[in-house]
Amino acid sequence: MNPTVNRQISIIGVPLDLGADRRGVDIGPSAIRYAGLRERLQRIGYEIDDKGDILAHRPDSWQVEEPALKYLDEIERVNSELCRIVGEELGKDRFPLVLGGDHSIAIGTISGVLQHKKKPGVIWFDAHGDINTMETSPTGNIHGMPAAVSLGIGHERLLAIGGSAVRLRPENFVMIGIRDLDPGEKLLLKELGIAVYTMHEIDILGMAKVMQEAMSIVTKGTDGVHISFDMDVVDPLHAPGVGTPVVGGLTYRESHLAMELLSAANIVTSAEFVEVNTVLDHQNATAKMAVALMGSLLGERLK
């Protein structure tokens, strides 16, 4: 993606933290904007329409009625609204850039993408699989379930978001940077045959080779590519402000190289960056890195 392909970007903030059941990521969209997102993208050559934030309620007095699917009502409502907005912006031939919030918002983003893209590919950058269901999740936190829902597996109310029967195809779905999986996730990933590049594969193959293989998978017979980037895929040394950090993640340069290669391929049609937790961050370092990575993904170069 670069301004010669599509100069129109719509920024959509989703300050939702219920999926993680932990405060801090609700301030993520504001932190990312404060880190200079609009100005950076404008310098690259984009025209920006910031749609503001979707209202996400978080009363501290809320009770968890279903421990296996915490805060389902509000997560469903916010993701339904996000789906609508993403779909509208794609319908205007604009590039949706979604700012989280926790990773449960991928349900709404991808549902919105599926309103216009019938066979999208997805690259899922994450330390975790996020492919649990209410039966396999050890916490009931829905931010650990969006990959499963997007592939058509999960609670009927989450699957109904967007009202589309179209789902992602496992053969066009790639996970990168994984280093923490629950037992049920391991079984489902094997059952679906999803390509998973753990840090082991990245160490052995190198990021350039991993991205080459990943891009081949997500572009085979697809009509667009969505990037879902959880900031905890990056090593906590570089991105300390995330809710569920796992040591041994992507380096600063590996992360940027991945974005640069995607940009050069001109295949990305939508993206989201999630799980910036300002409460746990140091001087907004994680939000600043998120903005820098968005710059690399969207065509920023030294020369």
Q: Are 121 and 219 in contact (CB under 8 A)?
A: yes
Q: Is 21 exposed, middle or buried, given 0-12, 13-18 or 19+ CB atoms closer than 10 A? A: middle
pLDDT recorded at residue 90:
97
- Give the C-alpha distances (Å, rounded to integers) separating 274 from 12, 236, 238, 292: 12, 15, 15, 14
The reply to whether 182 belongs to the active site is no
Fold assignment, 8-298: Arginase; Chain A (3.40.800)
Rounded to an integer, what distance in angstroms lies between the CA atom of residue 209 and that of residue 74? 40
Question: Whole-model pTM?
Answer: 0.96
Q: Which of 53, 230, 260, 272 is catalytic?
A: 230
Q: Are the beta carbons of 123 and 92 closer than 8 angstroms? A: no
| Annotated catalytic residue 155 | no
Q: Angle at CA 262, nearest 5°, toward 116 and 161?
A: 30
Which residue stretches of the chain are H helix? Answer: 28-34, 37-44, 72-91, 106-113, 146-150, 156-159, 183-192, 199-205, 207-218, 252-265, 285-297
54: exposed, middle or buried (C-beta count within 10 Å: 0-12, 13-18, 19+)? buried
* Residue 182 among known ligand-binding residues: no
200: CB partners within 8 A, 6+ apart: none
130 marked as part of a ligand binding site: yes
Q: How far apart are alpha carbons 82 and 207 in whole angstroms?
A: 32
Q: Where are the domains of the chain?
A: 8-298
Biggest alpha carbon distance in the chain? Answer: 54
To the question of whether residue 230 is assigned a binding role by annotation, the answer is: yes
d(CA 210, CA 254): 11
How far apart CA 210 and CA 32 sit, in angstroms, is 28
Cα–Cα distance for residue pair 151/130, rounded to 1 Å: 11
Active site annotation includes 235: no
275: annotated active-site residue: yes
21 is in an annotated binding site: no
Ramachandran assignment for 152, one of left (phi > 0), alpha (psi -120 to 50 degrees), beta (any other): left
pLDDT at residue 180 in the model: 97
Q: Which amino acid is at 6?
A: N
- What pLDDT is stored for residue 166 in this prediction? 75
- The DSSP output letter for 49 is E
Q: Which residue in 53, 81, 126, 281 is the catalytic one? A: 126
pLDDT under 50: residue ranges of the chain: none
Q: 112 with 138: CB under 8 angstroms?
A: no
282 labelled catalytic = no
Is 232 annotated among the ligand-binding residues? yes
